[in-house]
Amino acid sequence: MTDVHVFVPGVPAPQGSSKIVTNRRTGRPLIIHDNERTEPWRDAIRAKIREHWRTRTMVILHRGIPVSIDLEFVMPRRKREPATLEAHTRKPDTDKLVRAVLDALTNLIYDDDSQVVQIRARKRIAWPDEEPGAHIAWREYRQATA
């Protein structure tokens, strides 16, 4: 299978920590996230994947098959940053950005993110006039044969 690539516009949001609390009125468990931007970001990723899926006649879900993921996060540029600056060394952490994407791709690209056996991720500042977002590419992982 060849690479499949999508670009999701928007400001990438990290996967925050979650905790379970009990609703005092009903006694039911609730999951509370510490970043209110995570779920809308994951929804945007899912919507872009579904849009990609509708416009192509291909099966995207890899059931039980190892998957390789490439991610490039394009973070917003601050007004006073030099136009030549590329490295994004501020928060959010790259690993938390990756976790948010992997969770969003579950049940769309793969059954469970444990199927992801290779990840390449990069975080950089958007070039002047470049839209922030995330480039997401995936493919079936092919193990090298000896």
Q: What is the pLDDT of residue 8?
A: 97
Domain limits for position 75: 4-140
Q: What is the pLDDT along the chain (146 residues), one digit of tens a residue?
A: 457 899 999 999 998 766 778 888 888 887 776 667 888 999 999 999 988 877 765 555 667 889 999 999 999 999 888 888 888 888 999 999 999 999 999 988 888 889 999 999 999 999 988 999 999 999 988 876 66
How far lies 25's CA from each of 20, 22, 29, 31, 126, in Å? 15, 9, 11, 15, 46
User: Can you give the CATH number for the domain in which 69 is found?
Assistant: 3.30.1330.70
Q: What is the pLDDT of residue 12?
A: 95
pTM of the model: 0.82
Q: Is residue 111 part of a domain?
A: yes
Q: Is residue 145 part of a domain?
A: no
Structure tokens at 146: 């000896």
Count of Cβ atoms closer than 10 Å to residue 32 Cβ: 10
What is the count of structural domains for the chain? Answer: 1
Q: Is residue 146 part of a domain?
A: no
Ramachandran bin of 129, using left for φ above 0, alpha for ψ from -120 to 50, beta for the remaining angles: left
